[in-house]
Structure 1
Amino acid sequence: MGKVKKQKPNRNKRNVVAVSNESDGEEQLIVDSKETAIQTVLDQLQSANVEEKYCGLQTLAILIENPDNIEQVTTRGVVKVAAPLLLDSANSVRNAAAGALRNLSAVRLDVCDTLMDEDIMTPITCYYHEHAAEWTPSNSSTKDEDSDTYIQCTNLLMNLCESSELAVKYVGQSKILDILPKYLQLSIFGSEIVIATLQCLFVIVEDNPLAIERIKSNSEAQLQSLICLEGSNPDILLIKTVAAGVIINMCSGDVSKLPTDVINRVLSILANSLSVDHKLACNQLSSSVPLADASGKVAALKGNESKVLDNQIKAVLQMLDAQQSAIEIIANICSCDDGDEVTDGESSDEEPDEEICNNGDDTMLSEDKLPPMVMEALVSLDIFTKVWARTELPPQNVMMILKEYEGSQLVYNKLHSVQTRALLCINNMLSTLPIDSLGGVNGIYKIWLDAGKLTFKQNTENINLLESATAVMRASLDKIKLKENGNINECNLFNNMALSDIEMMLTGIKECETPEIRSNLIRMIGILALLLVNNLNEVTSNVICTITEFIIEQAHKENDVWVLAEAIDTLVDLYSEDETDMLAARVKLVDKLSILAPILKNKARQQRRLPKEYKVLVSTATSNLPRFIKYKKTRLSNL
């Protein structure tokens, strides 16, 4: 979700908060304190004067560019005062309000929760009913401004619906679902409005039977025409891609419900979107971006040069948006989340169903869950390779150029977003596609190594990237483990694994503060140890024992019960093989797990409110651990 370009405060109106610095032509924000600035904004927003309101909204837009100001903006009641200005009689005020609120909604998900608490859905709903229901560019004297207001409001609505089920409910109770389809008419409204509408519908329609029926009844033919558009310009590519996503969401994600010709067209659109060389496009863009001088300043382009560069940036952003949308759609197609829900009322220490405890022995393989024709299309169109290519960023010098120039910073941010989404998609595809179509064991091993470079060899503070990269590492080893029941001696990938090779991983887990990443890494090194069981010798035995002792040590330090459950489940998987009895005796596994068992049970009782998948994990580990201890104790007594 990008932000609207920064608009400067009105220079002709006195503003005690935002003033003009004519020496360098830039607006500077001069405030005695945040409290003074925010109070000034509140006073201006409540003024009867159009210019005062507009100036207050522009100052608000500057304030929220600084993350340090967000908390005070959201706690001082600014939203409750600004939101009704979406209905102001002045076009300029409506436009400024829509831009500022949209930018605010894009900061963080919890900010969207605050917006909902401030009843933002009431003015948004009224905006669509009063201003959007009958509007067309032909009957507007301020076409560009009104178009931008609609786009900002629709992006704001999308952000809210993406983070709040209550927002989706409001939409279903209003006429918005009857108004939005009107804006899919490309010949009347143009590509930018159609794109914003499609992106919003893509979010609203997902897992929403009411919205699906409403959109089916009044937009199905329009959506079909959009995926049949000719041309490969970035805006057309984006329209076709998101329209394909809406169509898939309208069949509740079950692509097999669509006619064969539609399935083929939709998957071809996704492949075409991902066929554009994103690194080449960014390299070309960086050649057009003005560079900083010796003092670090970048001279702004003017006139036609500025317009050409703006259009080039816009085209690259649309291309990246199309690729991100395609990646998200493919990730959903390849998602195999069929777990039964565990309700809040269920106790974490209750016996789980046998189906949960049997480790999926009698369940369908995830590779068999996709319809054959979808699987065939994903393989024949080489979708996996295309998605994997999106995990690679342009060269570092190109990234720095894009980051330094204010106008291209959105491209820099979008590249990182696409990279993270691509890794998450790869995670899903690894479990869904047959290993032979992924380059075999050696191909998966290379993916594991490349994901490891992203995880361990880059100094990154991007938590989302680390989480998705570690998920790929885990899924890669899982895929190798499943190959012929883990019997991969023929490829000799891990047979020479030494303690020095895993030290970096163990250090990474110790230093990791994010539970999701710790969980991925713990499971990953557990699978790695399990793969070494197939070739036990002095070196591999030492590695397995070191990993075991490390996981046990981490388990004692773990505060999150579901990560603790993951660690214990990892050890149970590792030592469920009878060949590990000698190693289990060597590390005194039974005694150490017996100490962890009551710790797990107590934490499970204390931390009951967990997401569905975590509850199943904790419930399974809590139930399986005593059985495993009893089984392994009997085995070791016979040594």
Structure 2
Amino acid sequence: MGKSKTKRFKRPPFSPTGERETVENEEAILGDSPAVELLEKLQHPSAEVRECACAGLARLAQQQPTISALTRRDAVRQLGPLLLDPSLAVRETAAGALRNLSACGGFEVCDDMVTKDIMTPLVALLKECSAGLDSNETSLKKNKDLNKNYIEDIANEAVNVLWNICECSSRAVSIFNKEGCLEIVLKYLSRFSTNVDLAISVAFCLQAVTEDNPELLKSFSAPALQVLESAMFSPISSMEYTLLKTLLAGTVWNLKDILPSKSQADTINALLKIFSDVLEVDIGEVVIQMKEAETQRLNTATETETEEAEEMNGDTLKEDDEMEEIPHKRKVRRKTFISDLLPPNEKELKQTVALLTAQQIALEIIVNMCCSEDPSDDEWDEFSSSDESDAFMDNSFNESNGQLMSPLCLSAEVHTALTNYLIPKKIVEKIAFPNSVAIDICSRNPTWKPLIRKMNTIQCRALVCLHSILSVLDIDCLGGAPALQTLAQHLSQLAFSQPDFAKHTEFLEAISSALRTLLQIMASKNISQCMTPEQLMSLCEAGIHSSNIGVRVNVVSILGITGSVLSKEDGTLETLKTIGRFLLEVATKDSSLVVAGETLDAIFDVFADGKEAEKAAVEIKLLSALKEFQPVFKTKIRKEGRGKYSTDQLCVLDNVKMNLRRFIAYQETVEKRLTP
């Protein structure tokens, strides 16, 4: 018990533009009938009808309730052959429908797509597009629309389908390896200077397929690495290219094991330089500037359209005069505004989303850099109380002064680069985010409103990243005791910056993890802590009602850490009694044995030593409460443990059970000594 694990990030199984749509009116949710009708039209002899059907299915696939209807109707088997349809427009819209289905359907749908052999036509399409980049003879070149690059547009949709499926299915990754898809997508990537959207899709895919894929790593030849390097260090500067470089940096990190040892340090420095530059940008200021630029551009476009309208009105007057002279002449009116014929141009929004995505990815990769090689998502998988068990045999019951976490393995190269590029400082800056002015701008504009959620996600990622950084860097690298105190105060204020913070589970988990780690480090270094008892209890009372077990484990651990410090100070009796009552309530009533075990450990820490702690324990009748709970705890472990918890968790719970027996024995000696 008492160790805190860092969280390792995997790429999300959804493409950035394949997000689920929220349908507020359930009556508006489309059911089987539209799906059936559209699927029937996929076999229509008219290419235009097939294209429209694919577009309709792409729309349906974004609405979660209809995904099951599409899978029941075998949409994948019917859309698959259309990836090789004679019509290029049908190929593109079919790939778009599969892209949305794979993005919004999640793991089960993607795995089902592989089972239904979607990879065969998909790989064939990718190969044909690859050949089409070099040859003017391919069928993909035969199109009448010279303003549209069908090859690259189709390839972009197909790569997104490939990415989504490989993210979710190990079988798809195996096919990727065997079919030589790496060479194909690298060819697409080499066109980064002329088609950044395609390059970004490839980079997302590469970051997914290179993770934990030793078979693929063997395929990375020197020329392949040069393609990555060329794009990653391109002098082209834009927010889209910032995202591309960040994604490729993540891919190179996945490839670190095959890089020559002599170049490891230079490579890691290059990667962290990219992340540092990405995090340097104040996204709040970017939102403000981009929104102003969009407004100015739209105003300019409106003025231009008004001038065109006035000119057209003048022409119309002339036409009317002429028609008076020629009554039988048919009057034909032109489209009033040319912009009505075009989709809305949201280039500023697109660039802002690219930067937000780049910052999120940079933070996630930094977390992975700080993680051990075999991390676990389960906070308890490797917890152990055995190191402290002997302490219960001593009357003094002294607290262990060990760290909260085992030191994670961090290479010297990563350690040096993290500090040289001021990564900790920039992470802390992201924690203070988001900018209130930017939030106000986004909240007043429907198309920009989704950015608020993305900004909040970056804040949470920064908190998780801070937790990882604290776990692997010593306090001197973090700025010493004053910096840690300032940071603790900042986190305390941040926790209460929003009145409804307790409703945001991701935020609450991230900030409680960071606080837990920081407070333990400060306690181990005898650095005074900054949270007031009122703040502490408010945070814990909010967190303990969370449905997230990680949040509940964090808050009881925070109480244990803080209480163990207070137990050695004078005048803390009432605070210790409040903490003790709270922990007893949680230990005896929480439905999770994991939380109960962590809470008992916190009780052991708080009441292990100190005159104030001894008095508090007697006054809240800690001994009798624990004696009453002891058989209940044993029974729960015996009845619930085998079915609900892993072997490692059960081992921890057995240690807690043993330590509870010893702690009760210790408390009996305390009570005898203090009771007249």
Alignment partners' CA distance in 1, 2:230 and 2:369: 22
Q: How does 1:82-97 map to 2 (within 5 A)?
A: 82-97=79-94
Instruction: Tell me the equivalent position of 1:475.
Output: 517
Alignment partners' CA distance in 2, 1:591 and 1:464: 37
Instruction: Tell me the equivalent position of 2:255.
Output: 250
Q: How does 1:47-446 map to 2 (within 5 A)?
A: 47-107=44-104, 111-119=106-114, 122-132=117-127, 134-137=130-133, 139=136, 140-141=140-141, 144-186=149-191, 190-216=195-221, 219-251=224-256, 258-289=263-294, 303=339, 310-336=346-372, 369-403=409-443, 405-409=445-449, 411-446=451-486
RMSD over aligned CA atoms reads 4.1
Cα distance, 1:280 vs structure 2: 1.1
Task: Call closer, same or farther: CA 1:635–1:264 in 2, change over 3 Å.
Answer: same
Cα distance, 1:330 vs structure 2: 0.8
Cα distance, 1:398 vs structure 2: 2.8
Instruction: Tell me the equivalent position of 2:583.
Output: 551
Cα distance, 1:520 vs structure 2: 2.1
Alignment partners' CA distance in 2, 1:571 and 1:558: 15
Amino acid at match of 1:219: A
Amino acid at match of 2:200: I
1:434 is paired with a residue whose SS is: coil
Q: How does 1:512-523 map to 2 (within 5 A)?
A: 512-523=546-557
Asked if 1:493 is matched to 2:501, the reply is: no
Alignment partners' CA distance in 2, 1:54 and 1:90: 9
Cα distance, 1:222 vs structure 2: 2.2
Alignment partners' CA distance in 2, 1:481 and 1:454: 21
Instruction: Tell me the equivalent position of 1:17.
Output: none
Amino acid at match of 1:637: T
Cα distance, 1:193 vs structure 2: 1.9
Counterpart pick for 2:619 among 573, 579, 586 = 586
Deviations 1:514-563 (A, max 9, x none): 222222222223222223223242xx222222222222212333223323
Task: Call closer, same or farther: CA 1:504–1:222 in 2, change over 3 Å.
Answer: same
Alignment partners' CA distance in 2, 1:34 and 1:268: 50
Alignment partners' CA distance in 2, 1:356 and 1:54: 68
Larger radius of gyration: 2
Alignment partners' CA distance in 2, 1:338 and 1:407: 40
Alignment partners' CA distance in 1, 2:260 and 2:346: 37
Cα distance, 1:283 vs structure 2: 0.9
TM-score normalised by structure 1 residue count: 0.80
Q: How many residues align?
A: 590
2:580–2:603 Cα contact (<8 Å) kept: yes
Alignment partners' CA distance in 1, 2:473 and 2:260: 16
2:434–2:459 Cα contact (<8 Å) kept: no
Cα distance, 1:512 vs structure 2: 1.8
Task: Call closer, same or farther: CA 1:465–1:100 in 2, change over 3 Å.
Answer: farther
Counterpart pick for 1:527 among 542, 553, 561 = 561
1:121–1:170 Cα contact (<8 Å) kept: no
Deviations 1:330-366 (A, max 9, x none): 1111123667999xxxxx9x99795797999899975
1:227–1:266 Cα contact (<8 Å) kept: no
Instruction: Tell me the equivalent position of 2:594.
Output: 562
Mean Cα displacement is larger for which, 360-369 or 215-224? 360-369
Alignment partners' CA distance in 2, 1:255 and 1:269: 20
Alignment partners' CA distance in 2, 1:351 and 1:5: 38
Task: Call closer, same or farther: CA 1:258–1:591 in 2, change over 3 Å.
Answer: farther
1:54–1:93 Cα contact (<8 Å) kept: yes
Task: Call closer, same or farther: CA 1:634–1:529 in 2, change over 3 Å.
Answer: closer
Amino acid at match of 1:550: F
Question: What 5-or-longer segments of structure 2 have no aligned partner?
Answer: 1-13, 20-24, 297-304, 306-336, 391-398
Cα distance, 1:402 vs structure 2: 2.9
Q: Which has the higher contact order (CA 8 A, sep 6+)?
A: 2
Cα distance, 1:258 vs structure 2: 4.7
Cα distance, 1:149 vs structure 2: 2.9
Instruction: Tell me the equivalent position of 2:543.
Output: 509
1:83–1:123 Cα contact (<8 Å) kept: yes
Counterpart pick for 2:33 among 36, 40, 44 = 36
Deviations 1:267-313 (A, max 9, x none): 2122112122211111112224559xxxxxxxx99749999952222
Instruction: Tell me the equivalent position of 1:25.
Output: none
Cα distance, 1:88 vs structure 2: 3.2
Task: Call closer, same or farther: CA 1:636–1:401 in 2, change over 3 Å.
Answer: same
Cα distance, 1:589 vs structure 2: 3.2
Task: Call closer, same or farther: CA 1:69–1:465 in 2, change over 3 Å.
Answer: farther
Amino acid at match of 1:275: E
Identity among equivalent positions (%) equals 25
Cα distance, 1:428 vs structure 2: 0.8
Amino acid at match of 1:132: K
Amino acid at match of 1:245: G
1:183–1:193 Cα contact (<8 Å) kept: yes
Task: Call closer, same or farther: CA 1:172–1:502 in 2, change over 3 Å.
Answer: same
Cα distance, 1:121 vs structure 2: 7.1
Alignment partners' CA distance in 2, 1:627 and 1:29: 53
Task: Call closer, same or farther: CA 1:536–1:365 in 2, change over 3 Å.
Answer: same
Instruction: Tell me the equivalent position of 2:334.
Output: none
